[in-house]
Structure 1
């Protein structure tokens, strides 16, 4: 508290001399009369670009405390008000407003702030034009008020919420987009009328010049957590702290000592038989704060710095997560140059040491940058360095060329390996209806950025073309308001001269005037090599195959909403599979909601790797189910129950070996097996002050594989008894 008072005493007196806005949802202060106004909202979902069916007005105002926004949303009595309370970052079907802002107005990083009619919130970071990550949780103010004619929202974004270039100047230019969603009509209207589904989104925001005020903050977050193991009775007590120091928008420092990453958030259950590892998001506060600068993605689906590597399974081979001793991160601006550095060290002799440095120099809406990562893994006698150079050239408002050059240098036990790769990407929006994307990718056979990043594969070449067309000039009596067509073609090969399966697909998404949508996708895969399935033990030849997927999403009808999809696909050697995808949501009332998902899959030819050059094709039944219950008994109190079950029954197998020219020839049979994965989490959260929370969490679940054939009922019954983990966690995190 003394540190906070000291910092506040350094804020210029002029800031405190003005009357502060009261963020209460009532837009009645005199300051709002001089605000920048956004009117004439246009519909972007459905993508008709005509006038919104209800009137919305938004205002933006620069204040000493931060950048403030106010929305006035008219909502006549004949439009249902959909206002369920939801957990943070989980607003799915509710009346809501969005503020999307790029504080540097350079099209590199944006921030999304969502407030629903129930005053539930989301916040996200926007990178690569339209990639949203809700892992980040920021400190900002918001309030909602309802009346007979509609509802109002006030939002205040503190000046210290993110790094901002040139924070000492009296004015700054920001880029802004505001939108509103009417849930009962599945309608989104925006000003300016840009849509996040377009390849050019962040760069299409409206530029606004505002007054700028200096601000600073020092936040100290100590925590204490107690874990009690019910299966193997015993307890564990942990303490640690996070420090966030923001002396100005041009420099921010984040540090952590002995961070606690207890299971207050649970990952989705996954059973992965593929050669590519599963990618998980990261909700840990230290790694989400000021992380946007480091968020450099690479085709196909790679990430140069993947923070889940830090504190992942230890290199000592135990399978346990490594403890993190300490970590520090700085972000700042020197003139136009943006810079960042991250250091993290794990505990114990097998602990890894991570380092990353980032430089980015914007030139208008163009830019050039470098990201370097370094990982020392003493238990493996391995050092890995990676450099990624990236650049973006904004040729015109609707035409952009981007590129990356990648280089890795790996030394393991005295053996050195170096290789390179690159990505070239062209994005074009010649009209609001048309957009095109072209991507060329080359990844060398020894290129490897998996020590600090996420790399699905190397030894890879790809050419991709994508075009989409949005049609909204449909007859007035048509039940469909807008249709989006998208076609994608992809050619793939490796550096060994093997032509991998090329594929293309055509999609059609129709949005109905009464709400809801229908999606249809047809995919065709050519014959080609699969060089990954055997994990380096040979390649197989795949014949041509096809698949068809269709899904209907209903509009909100009273307390219900549902989705239903059907996917028919060829897989394995040459046979078919069928998968159903369904979800349903029911609101008992605004404070209690239940939603469930179930996706069964029946395969007649599921081909997986066994060992060496041996594979097997199984008949498979797979169940992927989840149930979530969210209850908000009172303000700042949240109770959540989450149950997941993932099961596979594989039987009647035919074993194969790889023959000449990648053909598969029968080689006897393989054992039946079943897999069960079950997880249950009960979580109570109480926010007793902003960013100060109490968690009480009960978790139970486990994983089991049995060498036998089980039916679905037996699998589910057995899943309920799984108990690899059975524990109770209490955690308090307090903000000073």
Structure 2
């Protein structure tokens, strides 16, 4: 059954003309096909941020075609520059020669898309929101090809008209905002046009606006799947089947639906053992939740997300600890004139199943100004709870160098026949008086009963914050200097809760130096002022913290032959008055272009690790913590990928001193015993992936791991050896997902 189809060209009026002949994406730039393209020349260096001419010549072209928006790059690379081209899994390009297309299809500065192709023809794709926030969870269907020759290499890219929702898809022309760039891995050098840098507070809005011919297209894709899971620890099998549906009748409207979705782990989460009051945030790689999701991606200070898709299908409210099964879900996005809209519905199975709903409106008031609404609602029958949240967001470009943004948040929680309402808001002012100097000021208020955690991710409420950030980039360094550019960044934050308690303020100063030969180093000095910590005791009191300091240094090497590494050290104060040392190291080695091994080790030694132990009690421990990971990626031939991933996380805590909190928030020593303990967590995943075709894949996955807590002190060597025997889960999964 073939459900994919397209309706091609509308008549195009005056704009960037369409391709004169049919374009074949094979990496060979045929002049006749590209002669009418818009051309990008004279790339400028943005990393290091010198804004001078790039070390190597790059030319890019952009062309509207009936099939999509096409790009071509010609990358000159003389013999004196090494070609670095490892094969990498999707969305994991790190040290490789590569090109990027960054495009905002509506040219309104709200949602952008990043497409990366490396010299080995490995790819990344990502969604850009909040000016410079990249999310690689999204995987799209687009064409790409690479060709090499003696003097350089070429890339061709085709982005179908159906790749994303586009406002005004029925007009003969459209204006898009575009940036193209190239990375020379040997020197860690990035050059771009226009010369905007993704680390700046204003990035997406700085793209070049180009008018092109527009074509209409439709697509209907069905993705049925079958999977089989065999449990080796508790012998038994589980079989599942279901389907996802993606329908795009036009660029103005897209619908996604799923029935009995399969969320078996072909991508493993990072191992985390969390002793903090704030839950760990995880990204979402499930296809249904990443497709057409950018419109709903609204973030809020501090580090919150108003619609966190990992809530759907999370641990059931029935108390079993098992992930809830999702019966069905549907989502649609569209546009009407200057209005973008979207809706989301999901229903979990069983009497305890939750029901999720979300709606989004975003209205454009001009080239950069807009106003929006996001509504979420969650019904949780097992808890007799309903949570509704309304967010209003807006952006106003006061002048070419001054932008004001804001958010108003309202929540209403009904539980056990009681209703709680509260509000909050965020105000952000961004100023860029020059390419070298930027300022950002943020005011935040979150009421004590404001709660968007049922559908979103909310680190805390009862919170007030005023922050200021200034960054200054200097590139006018002597030609014989080993440093090409230096960036200074200063941040100061004052915080308080609604009771008037001053929470620990903090400030830090960072100096980042980018080297002419490639690589960079970072030096940072920071500190927390005197203030309260009102979260550590989980509502059982607040504790007073004296001022603390920290010092951080890190060196990131450029690619040297087959090696690339990062070394860092962090000296800080923690707990009551103790100090800690954390080392950070990452190493990558390319056995060949098709086989890469990388690993990281981050140990921390603490003299005074303070954690909550229950009620108004805390304990301070001497701690040793290990966080390690090893990844092996092998691409034996085209379409075949083998990956091994091993993680070990361990904590050993000993020599405890117990404390209690007095009425003033001070800690005093307690005679209660606090036992030594250790936590050991281990996971390994072996995965084979075969690409049957675009977005059609077959997986074989073996996963094993577990976590164990012991009420005694253990040496690090013993912890690692014991970790190898952990076996809470031991499973084998086979999964086939095919695109019709």
Alignment TM-score, normalising by the size of structure 1:
0.99
Match of 1:366 in 2: 369
Q: After TM superposition, list the pairs within 5 Å mapping 1:523-538 onto structure 2.
A: 523-538=526-541
CA distance in 2, matches of 1:353, 1:56: 51
1:112–1:126 CA contact under 8 A, matched in 2: yes
User: What aligned pairs does 1:409-558 form with structure 2 within 5 A after superposition?
Assistant: 409-558=412-561
- 1:315-343 CA-to-partner distances (Å, cap 9, x unmatched) read 00011100100000000001110000000
CA displacement, residues 249-302 of structure 1 (integer Å, 9 cap, x when unaligned): 000000000110111000000000000000000010000001000000000000
Q: Which residue of 2 aligns with 1:228?
A: 230
1:407 corresponds to: 410
Once residues 446 and 147 of structure 1 are traced to their aligned partners in structure 2, the CA distance between those partners, rounded to angstroms, is 63
Tell me which of 35, 39, 48 is aligned to 2:37: 35
Provide TM-score, normalisation by structure 2.
0.98
| Structure 2 counterpart of 1:189 | 191
Distance of 1:162 and 1:430 partners within structure 2:
34
Residue 653 of structure 2 corresponds to residue 647 of structure 1: no
Mapping for residues 62-141 of structure 1, pairs under 5 Å: 62-141=64-143
Q: How far does residue 310 in structure 1 lie from its aligned partner after superposition?
A: 0.2
* Partner-residue secondary structure (3-state), 1:500: strand
Q: 2:634 maps to which residue?
A: 631
Distance 1:303 1:662 in 2: 31
Spell out the pairing of 1:247-258 with structure 2 (5 A cutoff): 247-258=249-260
Distance 1:156 1:525 in 2: 49
Instruction: Give the alignment of 1:207-226 within 5 angstroms.
Output: 207-226=209-228
In the alignment, what sits opposite 1:613? 616
Match of 1:566 among 555, 563, 569: 569
- In the alignment, the residues of structure 1 paired with residue 202 and residue 291 of structure 2 have an alpha-carbon distance, to the nearest angstrom, of 25
Is the 1:259–1:326 Cα contact (8 Å) retained in structure 2?
Answer: yes
1:324 has 2:326 as partner: yes
Corresponding position of 1:579:
582
Preserved CA contact (<8 Å) 1:20 1:65:
no
- 3-state DSSP class of the match of 1:344? strand
- C-alpha distance in structure 2 between counterparts of 1:470 and 1:186, whole Å: 17
Q: Deviations over 1:83-120 (max 9, x none)?
A: 00000000000000000000000000000000000000
CA shift at 1:617, angstroms? 0.1
Specify the SS of the correspondent of 1:34: coil
Partner of 1:144: 146
Q: Retained in 2: the 8 A contact 1:220–1:244?
A: yes
CA deviations over 1:159-213 (Å, ceiling 9, x no partner): 0000000000000000000000000011000000000000010000000000000
SS in 1 for 2:33: helix
1:453 offset after TM fit, Å?
A: 0.2
Alignment partners' CA distance in 2, 1:17 and 1:561: 42
Question: Aligned pair 1:682/2:686, yes or no?
Answer: yes
Partner residue, 1:734: 738
Q: Is the 8 A contact 2:10 2:172 kept in 1?
A: no
Give how far 1:122 is off.
Answer: 0.2
In 2, Cα distance between the equivalents of 1:19 and 1:699?
Answer: 49
Q: 1:388 & 1:467 partners in 2: Cα distance?
A: 28
Which one is further off, 516-525 or 148-157?
516-525
CA distance in 2, matches of 1:72, 1:31: 15
Q: In the alignment, is residue 722 of structure 1 matched against residue 726 of structure 2?
A: yes
Residue 14 of structure 1 and its aligned partner are, at CA, apart by 7.5
Q: How big is the shift at 1:12?
A: 5.2
Higher deviation after alignment, 16-25 or 422-431: 16-25
Question: How far, CA to CA, are the matches of 1:710 and 1:125 in structure 2?
Answer: 44
Where do 1:682-721 residues align within 5 Å?
Answer: 682-721=686-725
Do structure 1's residue 664 and structure 2's residue 694 form an aligned pair?
no
Contact between 2:8 and 2:215, CA under 8 Å: does it hold in 1?
A: no
Q: Deviation digits for residues 132-154 of structure 1, max 9, x if unmatched?
A: 00000000000000000000000
Report the Cα distance in structure 1 between the residues aligned to 2:121 and 2:3, rounded to whole angstroms. 31
Secondary structure at the counterpart of residue 504 of structure 1: strand
> Following the alignment from structure 1 to structure 2, what is the Cα–Cα distance between the partners of residues 691 and 359?
30
| Partner residue in 1 for 2:15 | none
Aligned-partner SS, 2:664: helix
- Distance in 2, Cα, partners of 1:398 & 1:109: 20
Question: What is the deviation of 1:394?
Answer: 1.0
Give the equivalent residue in structure 2 for 1:313: 315
Give distance in 2, aligned partners of 1:615 and 1:304. Answer: 32
Shift of 1:405: 0.3
Distance in 2 between residues matched to 1:12 and 1:206, nearest whole Å: 25
Post-superposition shift, 1:17? 11
| Cα deviation, residue 363, structure 1 | 1.4
SS at match of 1:661: coil
**Separation in structure 2 between the aligned mates of residue 177 and residue 456 of structure 1, nearest angstrom:** 34
CA contact (8 A) 2:684 2:703 kept: yes
Distance in 2 between the 1:606 and 1:693 partners?
Answer: 46
1:441–1:460 contact (8 Å) kept in structure 2: yes
Q: Indicate if the aligned counterparts of 1:98 and 1:178 stay in contact, CA closer than 8 A.
A: yes
Q: Secondary structure at the match of 1:643?
A: strand
User: Is the CA contact 1:21–1:29 (under 8 Å) kept in the aligned structure 2?
Assistant: no
Structure 1 residue 396: Cα displacement: 2.0
Q: 1:149 and 1:610 mapped to 2: Cα distance?
A: 64
Q: State the alpha-carbon separation in 1 of the partners of residues 399 and 369 from structure 2.
A: 10
**Offset of 1:75 from its aligned partner?**
0.1
Q: Cα offset for 1:688?
A: 1.2
SS of 1:286 mapped into structure 2: helix
What are the Cα deviations for residues 55-90 of structure 1, in whole angstroms up to 9, with x where unaligned? 000000000000000000000011000000000000
Q: Deviations over 1:633-662 (max 9, x none)?
A: 001110000000000000000000012411
Aligned partner of 1:340 among 322, 339, 342: 342
Post-superposition offset of 1:404: 0.3
1:174 is aligned to: 176
- Matches of 1:362 and 1:581, distance apart in 2: 44
In the TM superposition, residue 13 of structure 1 has moved relative to its aligned partner by: 8.7
Which of 32, 36, 54 does residue 52 from structure 1 map onto?
54
Kept after mapping to 1: 8 A contact 2:356/2:377:
yes
The structure 2 residue matched to 1:25, chosen from 14, 24, 27, is 27
Equivalent residues of 1:553, 1:564 under 8 A apart: yes
Q: By how many angstroms is 1:3 displaced? A: 3.0
Q: CA deviation at 1:610?
A: 0.2
Alpha carbons 1:200, 1:398 under 8 Å: kept: no
CA 1:380–1:735 in 2, change beyond 3 Å: closer, same or farther? same
**Gaps spanning 5+ residues in structure 1: where?**
none
Contact in 1 for aligned 2:598/2:632 (Cα 8 Å): yes
Cα displacement string for residues 431-473 of structure 1 (whole angstroms, at most 9, x for unaligned residues) = 0000000000000000000000000000000000000000000
Query: Hey, which bits of structure 1, 4+ residues long, moved more than 3 A?
Result: 10-19
Question: Quick one: which of 266, 283, 288 aligns to 1:264?
Answer: 266
C-alpha distance in 2 between matches for 1:401 and 1:51: 33
What is the DSSP-based 3-state SS (H/G/I as helix, E as strand, rest coil) of the residue aligned with 2:382? helix
Uncovered stretches (5+) of structure 2, i.e. residues with no partner:
13-17
